[in-house]
Amino acid sequence: MNRLVLSSAAAFEIAEAAASYEATRPGLGRTFVRHIDRLFNHIRRYPESAPVIEAGFRRAVVYRFPFCVVYRVQPDAIQVIGVLTTRSDPMRLMERLTAAAGR
């Protein structure tokens, strides 16, 4: 199983979404985090399973929630650069990918 490394932005996005869901309905934030954990486990086992969206970056959709995990597979780890809502501005995603790629 591969090591998964979360960027600080991705960790913040998870916490922010979980808090928002929890405020909407008690227990929903915990459910969101469980689905994120399940997706992370899937990504660790099958890192190449999600489609490539841009220059080696992959996008995996979170079950039951309008979020996706954006990551790239590197030789020593899987780097999660964001956990974004599927309604996000595509330019926000492209800016994040560009910054992560060092371009």
Render pLDDT for 46-78 as a digit per residue (tens, 0 to 9). Answer: 999 999 988 889 999 999 999 999 999 999 999
Tell me the CATH number of domain 4-101, given options 3.40.50.300, 1.10.8.640, 3.30.2310.20, 3.40.50.720.
3.30.2310.20
Residue 76: which residues within 8 A CB-CB, separation 6 or more? 3
Domain boundaries, the chain: 4-101
Q: Is the model's pLDDT at 82 over the cut of 80?
A: yes
pLDDT at 95: 76
Kindly report the average pLDDT of the chain as a whole number.
91
First-residue to last-residue Cα distance in the chain: 29
Q: What is the mean pLDDT of residues 6-10?
A: 94
What's residue 22's pLDDT? 97
Where does the pLDDT of residue 1 fall: very low under 50, low under 70, confident under 90, or very high at 90 and above? low
What pLDDT is recorded for position 98? Answer: 75
List the one residue out of 73, 80, 78, 64 whose CA is nearest residue 14.
Answer: 80
